[in-house]
């Protein structure tokens, strides 16, 4: 990705080739299981249309979203792929899904019965995807509820899915218990494929892959193996121009709350990115940025539209209005920014704002 001598406004660069490479890497890892793609929340904030199209061109044939409306938007983009909606029938009636050719991931025996009834009324035989709660205590049926289903109801289930609560902690005993519960429940559904692993679950090994895996975060460069080197290619780069450089002439402070003290001779660069753009307020005084090859600290409080950097340690000639500052990139990625702000990389990606100019690399943006 290019490094501009001067930058006019903040720019979010999204590497579609890296997303595709991450999907292909995971697909090879889990074969012969199928590798789907989770593109909910506007592909984790990176743009549903360009991301989904790039993945479909690469060979991805099954996509997961959260909301029915996301599924309808994706169906308009990709007429031929399979689309599953994780929220089930809670937000829309079966007719909505049938018309849009979406598969709800059903969260209860009652939803399964409603789906079967709607399919019979429409004279179609859509397979059901059923969610089993193996320990997350969110959506999904427990094993006792599934055991009460009749043989005909069980026979129409084509996918039995569950979700790991502690996949990013490989030694957590709940991982093995959840897998065992899925194996036991699967015996009730003679035709069903099984799915348990999302991004981190894939790295628990082949025993967790079953027939289909559902990576999301790992596709977009977040580390699915916390505490170990990130096996995924970086996807996102956020750069913004310096607006102004303050030459500090007397002792004072930076930003709201006067939390960062200044002394004569310091230089403070102002950058037009703030929490309204999704850059976390809590990262002030903890995050890092880069100007060319130099690391500089974010100092003072992050405000709605601005943040400030202490550039005293680099050459004065290297920083001027228009100088590009890398706020997210390979050297300080979304996981690192999340750690500085006391959150997770998922939240960083999904909150990146619409005020950025978006630049897609390695694929079509529209």
Q: From 246, 228, 251, 250, select the one nearest 316 (Cα to Cα).
A: 246
Q: Is residue 14 part of a domain?
A: no
Residues 49, 193 share a domain: yes
Q: Is residue 6 part of a domain?
A: no
Q: Are residues 67 and 211 in the same domain?
A: yes
What separation, in Å, do the N-terminal and C-terminal C-alpha atoms of the chain show?
20
Do 260 and 285 fall within a single domain?
yes
Reported pTM: 0.94
168 and 202 assigned to the same domain: yes
Q: The domain that contains 138 carries what CATH number?
A: 3.20.20.10
- The widest CA-to-CA distance across the chain, in whole angstroms, is 80
Are 104 and 195 in the same domain?
A: yes
- DSSP bridge partners of 132: 141
Residue 173 belongs to some domain of the structure: yes
Q: What angle do CA 110, 62, 30 make, to 5 degrees?
A: 110
Instruction: Find residue 202's DSSP bridge partners.
Output: none
Measure the CA–CA gap between 324 and 284, rounded to whole angstroms.
19
**Tokens at residue 137, please?**
């205590």
Q: How many residues does the chain have?
A: 366
DSSP class per residue in 336-350: HHHHHHTS-HHHHHH
- 126 & 244 share domain: no
Query: How many structural domains does the chain have?
Result: 2
What is residue 250's three-state secondary structure? coil
> How many other β-carbons are positioned within 10 Å of the β-carbon of residue 98?
18
Q: Are residues 278 and 325 in the same domain?
A: yes
d(CA 340, CA 79) in angstroms, rounded, equals: 41
The neighbouring-strand residues paired with 262 are 252
Sign of the Cα torsion 285, 288, 290, 295 reads positive
- Residue 124, domain extent: 32-220
Among 220, 252, 279, give the residue marking a domain's end.
Answer: 220
Phi-psi category of residue 319: left, alpha or beta, with phi > 0 → left and psi -120 to 50 → alpha: beta
Residue 299's DSSP bridge partners are 308
Does any domain span residue 95? Answer: yes
Whether 119 maps to a domain, the answer reads: yes
Look at residue 10 and tell me if it is in a domain.
Answer: no
Domain co-membership, 36 together with 169: yes
Judge whether 214 lies within some domain: yes
Same domain, 37 and 114: yes
Check: CB of residue 225 under 8 Å from CB of residue 203: yes
Which residues, in sequence order, are CB contacts of 34 under 8 Å at separation 6+?
Answer: 61, 62, 211, 212, 213
| pLDDT tens digits in sequence order for the chain, 366 residues long | 345 678 889 999 999 999 999 999 999 999 999 999 999 999 999 999 999 999 999 999 999 999 999 999 999 999 999 999 999 998 899 999 999 999 999 999 999 999 999 999 998 877 889 999 999 888 899 888 888 888 888 888 999 999 999 999 999 999 999 999 999 999 999 889 999 999 999 999 999 999 999 999 999 999 999 999 999 999 999 999 999 999 999 999 999 999 999 999 999 999 999 999 999 999 999 999 999 999 999 999 999 999 999 999 999 999 999 999 999 999 999 999 999 999 999 999 999 988 999 999 986 544
Instruction: Say what the pLDDT of residue 4 is.
Output: 62
Instruction: Check which CATH number belongs to the domain holding 356 and give it.
Output: 2.40.37.10
Q: Are 271 and 211 within one domain?
A: no
pLDDT at 363: 65
Q: Are 326 and 333 in contact (CB under 8 A)?
A: no
Same domain, 147 and 259: no
- Does 75 share its domain with 210? yes
pLDDT at 306: 98
In a domain, 81, yes or no: yes
Where are the strands (E) in the chain, listed by range?
11-15, 34-35, 37-38, 62-65, 82-85, 103-106, 128-131, 157-161, 193-195, 212-213, 236-241, 244-247, 252-254, 260-262, 267-271, 288-291, 294-299, 307-310, 324-328, 357-361
Using an 8 Å Cβ cutoff, are 203 and 170 in contact? Answer: yes
- Per the DSSP assignment, residues forming a β-bridge with 104 are 85
Catalytic center residues: 40, 256
Cα 276 to Cα 352: distance, rounded to the nearest angstrom: 9
Backbone angles phi, psi at 175, to 5 degrees: -60, -50
């Amino acid at each position: 990705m290019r490094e501009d001598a001067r930058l006019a406004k903040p720019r979010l660069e999204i590497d579609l080739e890296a997303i595709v490479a991450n999907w292909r890497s995971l697909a090879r890892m889990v074969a012969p299981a199928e590798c789907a793609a989770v593109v909910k929340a506007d592909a984790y904030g990176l743009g549903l249309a360009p991301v989904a199209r790039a993945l479909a061109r690469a060979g991805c044939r099954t996509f997961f979203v959260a909301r029915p409306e996301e599924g309808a938007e994706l169906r308009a983009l990709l007429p031929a792929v399979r689309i599953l909606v994780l929220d089930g029938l809670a937000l829309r009636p079966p007719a909505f899904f049938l018309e849009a050719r979406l598969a709800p991931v059903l969260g209860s025996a009652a939803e399964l019965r409603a789906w079967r009834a709607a399919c019979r009324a429409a004279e179609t035989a859509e397979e059901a995807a059923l969610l089993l709660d193996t320990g997350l205590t969110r959506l999904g049926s427990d094993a006792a509820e599934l055991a009460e289903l009749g043989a005909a109801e069980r026979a129409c289930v084509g996918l039995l899915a569950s979700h790991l609560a502690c996949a990013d902690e490989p030694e957590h005993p709940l991982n093995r218990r959840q897998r065992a519960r899925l194996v036991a429940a699967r015996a009730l559904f003679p035709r069903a494929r099984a799915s348990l692993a999302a991004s981190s679950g894939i790295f628990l090994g082949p025993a967790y892959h079953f027939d289909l895996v559902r990576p999301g975060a790992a596709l977009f460069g977040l580390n699915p193996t916390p505490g170990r080197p990130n096996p995924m290619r970086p996807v996102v780069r956020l750069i913004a121009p310096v607006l102004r450089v303050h030459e500090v002439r007397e002792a004072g402070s930076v930003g709201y709350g006067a939390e960062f003290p200044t002394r004569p001779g310091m230089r403070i660069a102002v950058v037009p990115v703030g929490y309204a753009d999704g850059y976390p307020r809590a990262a002030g005084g903890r995050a890092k940025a880069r100007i060319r090859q130099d690391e500089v600290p974010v100092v003072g409080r992050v405000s709605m539209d601005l943040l400030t950097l202490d550039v005293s340690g680099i050459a004065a000639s290297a920083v001027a209005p228009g100088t590009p500052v890398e706020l997210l990139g390979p050297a300080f990625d979304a996981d690192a920014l999340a750690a500085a702000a006391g959150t997770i990389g998922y939240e960083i990606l999904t909150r990146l704002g619409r005020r950025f100019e978006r630049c897609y690399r390695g694929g079509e943006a529209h």
